[in-house]
Chain A
Amino acid sequence: MAIFIILLFIFLIQDFLQVLVMGISLVPDLFLLCIIMLVLVRGGRKDKQTTLIWISFIGGLIWDLRWTNLPGLTSGFNGAVVAAAICLWYKAPVQGRTTPLFAVFAFVTQILSGMVHFVFWNVSTLAAMRQFAVQQILSLPALVILCYIFWKVSERNA
């Protein structure tokens, strides 16, 4: 329940930020990045991970209905990318599941998330490319913070 409330709060923060930068850029997908962090840092039970896959799906659907005009695009992508992240993460040896690897996962997730929306915009104008670039730059502070949290929690759980 606590995780659900935290994710709801992060979703609302992302929505609030999107209103502020509407027309300038898309905000980084903080909601998805947090879910990626939660499924990887917890390393817990499989049922928790599958619940998070579906939470990411529902969050993506609401995001689509509010911002992308393509309901199903973000939701399907979110579900698939969270599942892929879990599988690939646990494919890596235990010693290799470190903060730098998490940073790579989070960075690739953010790039893919931006690219999916960019590809589905039916106008490939300079404005759209600028929005994509700004989104990636804005995601850097969020990635640094998430990596820091991941590192701290991993240290505590070690």
Chain B
Amino acid sequence: MALWDKDRKTWLHGIIALLLGFIVLWISLSMPGLHHRLVDGVNGVLYFWEKPAMELRSIISLSSNWVLERASLHERVEQLELKNQALREALQLASVVSQEPRMSYVNALVTLRYAGDWWTEIRVDKGSAHGIELGAAVTSDGCLVGRVTRVGDNYAWIELITSSTFLIAAAVDETRDLGIVNGDGRGNLRLLYIPESGRVKRGMSISTSLMSDLIPPGVPIGTVLAEEEPREGFFPLRIQAGAHLTQLYSVQIFVGRKK
């Protein structure tokens, strides 16, 4: 009691600050629109100060990845070159002149990933001013990592494939079985609505199915890990994501096709 009497004013300020903190927390949880506006405002103000740190982080990450991935990329390039050569020869034999539309992506740096929403969403430093549209597919290392859910002029929020509200049509490449990819908010992925057991095997690859102009078909999502217990007559499949979702420093956002 003596402690309270002597420093009543200081205690009072501390208690008021604590209560005010809870009130702000309650307001922000009950008014998500205001919350998002404030978050984007603060992010916008701090953006220029943080830009050099983001670039530095990106350079460090790219340098370390470059060393680690160089060997595997070499191998992949060789395989793709051989495949490309074979396809060219096949096209020449068939006398078909092919002009595939070129997919266009914008590179963006990840500027925010909340620890509490680790598997749910990220924020990037590119927005509508760079051609990014709502619903656009987002990839990393060529594999799908999410979809744009909110866009500002110079920023965008991306819902990750591991989010529990994320649903996207996908196909098993080897069998052409169609299903829906869904996350659980804890880093796990599932392909739902597979009707037949045993048809899809471990290691088979899964890619996007035709959904909209902003999510191109054939973008790799991951590979099948295992079949789970049947639910409502379907056999959910556990999937391993193709992208390194724990190491997202930069992403590529689909902005359409160019002829």
Contacts and interface: CB of A to CB of B under 8 A. Distances in A.
A interacts with B: yes
Interface of A: 12, 15-17, 19-20, 22-23, 26, 46, 49-50, 53-54, 56-57, 60-62, 65-84, 86-87, 90-91, 117, 120-123, 125, 127-128, 131
A158 to B, nearest CB: 23
Contacts of B3: 87, 91
B11 A83 contact: yes
Given A54-B17, A57-B17, A61-B24, A46 B10 contact: yes
Interface of B: 3, 6-7, 9-11, 13-28, 35, 38-39, 41-43, 46, 49-50, 52-54, 56-57, 110-119, 185-187, 246-249
Given A70-B116, A75-B17, A86 B46 contact: no
B247 to A, nearest CB: 7
Contact of B42 (A46, A66, A78, A125): A66
A57 B57 contact: no
A76 B118 contact: no
24 contacts: A15-B49, A20-B53, A20-B57, A50-B10, A53-B14, A57-B20, A61-B24, A65-B42, A67-B114, A69-B114, A69-B117, A71-B24, A71-B38, A72-B20, A76-B19, A76-B20, A79-B16, A79-B17, A79-B21, A80-B15, A80-B21, A87-B3, A123-B185, A131-B115
B63 to A, nearest CB: 14
Given A78-B17, A90-B7, A72 B22 contact: yes
